[in-house]
Chain A
Amino acid sequence: MLQITEGSHAVAEAVRLCRPQVVSAYPITPQTHIVERLAEMVADGDLDGEYICVESEFSALSSCLGASAAGSRVYSATTSQGLAFMAEVVFNVAGMRQPIIMTIANRAMGAPLNIWNDQQDSLFLRDSGWMQFYAEDAQEATDLHFIAYKVAEKHDILLPAFVCFDGFILSHTFEPVDIPTQEEIDAYLPAFNPLQRLDAKKPMSFGMYATPDYYQEFRYEINAAMVRAKKAIREAGGEFAEKFGRDYSGLVEGYRLEDADTAIVAMGSVCGTIKDAVDEMRDAGEKVGLLKIRCFRPFPADEVKEALRGVSNVAVLEKNINIGSRMLGAVGLEVKDAVYKSGTPVYSYVGGLGGRDIRKKDIKMITEWAKQGRNDCFFGLREELLE
């Protein structure tokens, strides 16, 4: 049913429909509205699960790990400093192959302390073994939770996932969102059926340590599952499209890319602004399009390569910075790798850090820069502060 709702509340509603048995989270801006709403649902009996009020993000994900290993579907949400604090557990959850879903309300990393949006937080954990989805709007954020659980829990995948949506920009704004019914989600997402769990009737040891004789193969297996996840995501997204009419069968999504000379690549809410800018540039006769990356891990290199076939240059809009790398942004590195053999130039343009607004004119500017072959750089800098 279509309703006007805050992004965080739409996500909370999606989580409720997934029937998690254990929710464990620690409050941090701008994730709080999600977990507050989930706590209300538990208090009112609308969500039949345990809500653990932990003392830290580190314990939030640790308790999720224990609950998942014991056989429950679990959920958590965090951002930025909280995600960094749980980073050790993030790697551990993936290594132990627990299909935990965690919403990341993307926020900048300190210092300096900053509560506003960019995507540095989730991207710094790109190698942790978690799938990473990025939502453009509240509807996509909502729907990606259903898809994430479905893919994560498949026995040939068993990988956790971040569902990332931009803090404040999506988490605290109101949009019309079509929320499925419980019956619809029950028909799409079956009950959690763990491959193995902590159980006195069938005792096993979880989280043993691996010597050099074994460790590398366990890492190989995680990567192999991540590779398999590409197909599983396409299938789960396709099934979702059949049932709900919103198509997530691709890991990327093109917008007016046909015959484009310049492609802008981006993730998250800024894609909405980019679409408006593309429309205006197209109206002015410029051949520009957008490639939205919905799934960053696994990275859909083949789809990116296919989507960018024929473009002359690529401007990657980065809400992160790869400090110390020749390529300024983490997304650009992946895109450049994907199109490497074509020789198409790919540039990282970094902006929107710590909540700095990204305007249509910024997008037009970086499009122009890409055409001119301008090297990787920041955009939207306040030059007067950089004497």
Chain B
Amino acid sequence: MALNVGCAGAPGRARDNKTGSWRVFKPVFDNEKCNKCGTCMLICPEVSIDEDAEGYPKVNYDYCKGCGLCAEECPKDAISMIQEEK
């Protein structure tokens, strides 16, 4: 792969870097408790929580670092942080 002139890069290539491997704790969602408020999607610094077809949060574990911010802020306590099994 040739270098791009002047160290310029194509957009969004960071997706090549799968930060999910950093994770120690994994967020698990309980849709029974979820009210689809969207807080977790709004505040995830990894941009790794999306909406599924029914409007529930869906985590992209390729990038989730397991920081637990979503679980901490969930107003319905619908997210638990579970230790990853390596």
Contact = CB atoms under 8 A, between A and B. Distances in A.
Interface of A: 95-98, 158, 195-196, 203-210, 214, 217-218, 221
A214 B4 CA distance: 11
Interface stretch (B6-14, B37-45, B58-66): B6-14
Q: Is the interface of A mostly helix, strand, loop or mixed?
A: loop
Contacts of A205: 8-11
A28 B7 CA distance: 32
B6 A98 contact: yes
Nearest to A204: B8
B7 A96 contact: yes
B5 interface: yes
A205 B9 CA distance: 5
A158 B3 contact: no
Contacts of A203: 11
Interface residues of B, number: 9
A207 B5 contact: no
A96 B6 CA distance: 4
B8 A217 contact: no
Contacts of B8: 96, 196, 204-208
Interface in B1-54: 3-11
Contact of A158 (B6, B7, B11): B6
Nearest to B5: A97
B6 A206 contact: yes
B5 A221 contact: yes
A217 B11 CA distance: 21
B17 to A, nearest CB: 12
A98 B6 CA distance: 8
19 contacts: A95-B6, A96-B6, A96-B8, A97-B6, A158-B5, A158-B6, A196-B4, A196-B8, A204-B11, A205-B8, A205-B9, A208-B8, A214-B3, A217-B3, A218-B3, A218-B6, A218-B7, A221-B3, A221-B5
The 7 closest A-B pairs by CB, nearest first: A97-B6, A96-B6, A205-B9, A203-B11, A206-B8, A204-B8, A208-B9
Contacts of B10: 204-205
